[in-house]
Structure 1
Amino acid sequence: MGMSVGAGGGGRGGRGHRRRGRHHAMISEINVTPMVDVMLVLLIIFMVAAPLLTVGVPIDLPDTQAKAMNVDTQPITVSINSAGQIYLQETEIPVEELVAKLQAISKTGYDERIFIRGDKSTDYGTAMKVMARISAAGYKNIGLVSLQEQDQ
């Protein structure tokens, strides 16, 4: 019961154990797991940040029974808060500069849509003064923004 080492088997010089000369094929697959992880994190960040990108002037809008408008492009927004301060988009401006600033930022000239947002407690005269100035300047598409009335 002796052990013998044959030519075909267990020794170092045999054919079955040639590791130095064997070439392994390169793996050419792209590991997409890190990319998917980054995309999911970005998706979550944008989902959280998107509601914060609305017009930033805090206005308590009145409720109405009007239906929501189907809007394709972003209109110019003029906001009037409860203290009577006037904002063009998110920048406070004096009423005397309103028309000049509107003309500077309107892309389609006098056909530009302009939305007026007024707080519930805004003085009616202030809102009418703003609308009169915009209308007298030649703008045709002026709208008032309100919230839809909730059924209780």
Structure 2
Amino acid sequence: MEALRQWHEAERDLAEASRRYMQLNDSDMRTIRLLIRAQRQGFIVTPKDIAAAVGISSASTTKLVDRLVAGGHLIRVPHPHDRRTTSVEVTEETAQAAHESVGRQHARRFDVIAALNSRERQTVLRFLSAMTEADRPQGPLAVGRFSRPGQDRA
């Protein structure tokens, strides 16, 4: 368990270093990662989508998008199907910077995986899959299965 704790700590340190490198906060980075994934898959993302994915209000989303547009990280473009709204995209420069920093890290992770033989990889995969399942919220923590103190259950 200590090794897992150290790995999680290293991941947090890496995420913090990435935020500092790009001079962004956590919500900014989550938004940029969301948009990069969406663009790669051909999805259109609106400010409403960002609010839902990042878990922030409409007003906070407006401020976030305004800040990232002003910083040269995002652009607003007309929505191709709904003239009442805009869609948001990551600029090529920000996508490239993210790709370069994340790409280097993924290469290092690939090297670690490549150093394992097939049996070792299968063991690690089983372990990580079991840990992922063990960490999914259960019981009252499961999505939609609890209410905040003072709220009635529906």
For normalisation by structure 2, the TM-score amounts to 0.28
Decide which structure has the larger Cα Rg and report it.
Answer: 1
For normalisation by structure 1, the TM-score amounts to 0.29
Relative to its length, the structure with more helix (as a share) is 2
Relative to its length, the structure with more strand (as a share) is 1
